[in-house]
Structure 1
Amino acid sequence: MKARAFSYFRAATIDHALDAHARAGDDARFIAGGQSLVPALSLRLQAPRLLIDITHIDELRGVRRDGDSLRIGALTRHCEMLSEPLIAEFAPLLHAAAPFVAHPAIRNRGTFGGSVALADPASEFPAMTLALDAEIEIAGPSGRRRVKADDFFIDLFETALRPGELITAIYVPLFKADQRFAFDELARRRGDYALVGCGIMATCTGERIDDIRISFFSVGNTPMRVKGAEASLIGSDLNAQRIAAAQGALEGDLAPPESDEVPPAMRLHLARVLLGRLLGRLGEDA
């Protein structure tokens, strides 16, 4: 199939993009990397009257320190998560997740902001914003605001973005000396959507877990924090007994949906296996 006919507007600034969207109303879409939108257009799952190209807006680019956070521009491409030294140093969980995102051709075009905005529950980066306690900066007709990642993902492909808004940047707390991280996913083939994936950020004193955020993907309609498992670990040493308790808590935290590909019970089992592996790695890093 081919996309329906549409008009095209290349925005030079955020205000230009917002104004163009306001004029077109609900019949417009922002486009950057286009790795999700272009296939949807081709299949006519979406048929906007206007495409607003935001790839030439300088304000949406760049990675820099901003106080206690790392500001990652929405147009930062997936491949830059691997090559940008500031991300490797101050957001190493994103750096660890990047090689698992699809294939090089997609990583060369896809953008961080686009992935977060789409909120595919099987994608790596939306889930990592949860694990990192990130904030999403949004621009819209009513001005700018920030939304915590915990409040951003609402339901399947549904986020806190309002009509006419776009993501401008993601703010990630700087990685600290007392923190540890771990990431992995289980997939049939490298580059496939994961059967289950997980990222962890932990703050530790020696072997004791002072704080921890564990985020799964491919286990529900949104990226999922497992707060029961987190609670079972906080204040304790990371030993075999605590790891087993956290694995057991997943049954109350996760309820994978029915799927033709993987039964819910199998996906939950894989989540337990993966969590055990990642917590074991954190313990080895002590």
Structure 2
Amino acid sequence: MIGGKRLIKNNNYRAFRYGDQLEPGYMLQIEHSISSNQPDISSLITKSKEELEAMRQDSISAENKAYAIVVAAAEQWEQQAAVTQLFDMALQYLRTPQVEHTNNQWEDNPHRDGEQISNRVYKMNYDIWEDTKYNRETKERVPVAWYVSWNVYLNSPLQGHDVHLAGQRNKRYTDKAAAIKYMEGRKKAYSNLFAELSPPIPKEYRDHFMVHGTLLPGYVVEGQEVVKDTAAEVSEGGISMPENKKTSVLEQLSAAKSQKQVSPTITEHKKEAER
């Protein structure tokens, strides 16, 4: 390499190299070099060393001026890239689809033998499966036990944010009626989560309903002052948001757990996740 300059700047905006636009978050890197396999220096070697040194300094000065122009352009570009990123973030926010839900109605679960219910914040499902044993006398399979599994999750519109809040797996009963009664009790215990289309979000889970630090439309965090959102009303056919501060969902879930033994609540699940 005969001469060249390198400009490397870290940023969180865009990267550009030789005409290619890359995704945000890359390193801004501009490189330029000049090289030749067979340089022609015949016109230079006839000059004295002093002359060449002086000419070289003039060339370096001219190169530095050109480089300063490139740096200034890169800074201007970086500032504009930051503006572009804000547009990208806003578009990502607006393009986030509404979460699918059952409108607080129990429906058949298409993925298992059971039911499911959901709204814009929570979802719950359960299934009861029958265990059978072959009876040699009657030559038929007869039921010997029933297993109940149920779960409560966040119903976040963001992919990968459906946090498991509570549930139990394969609780065994030898009487089908008892299994059904138990599940009806679980449904009643968590019915408070499905009283509103968009119930308040516990503070520790608000990030699961935010895009770039901004709460998605139609949602409210527990203890937060309610701001009427026209767009959300239109998209959801009129969302009824709570006017007053209500009992914390965590407190409600804790109360539900005290009724009957269940698997870890939201708080216990969070502690386990932090280990």
Same fold (TM over 0.5): no
* TM-score, length-scaled by structure 1: 0.24
Higher relative contact order (CA 8 A, sep 6+): 1
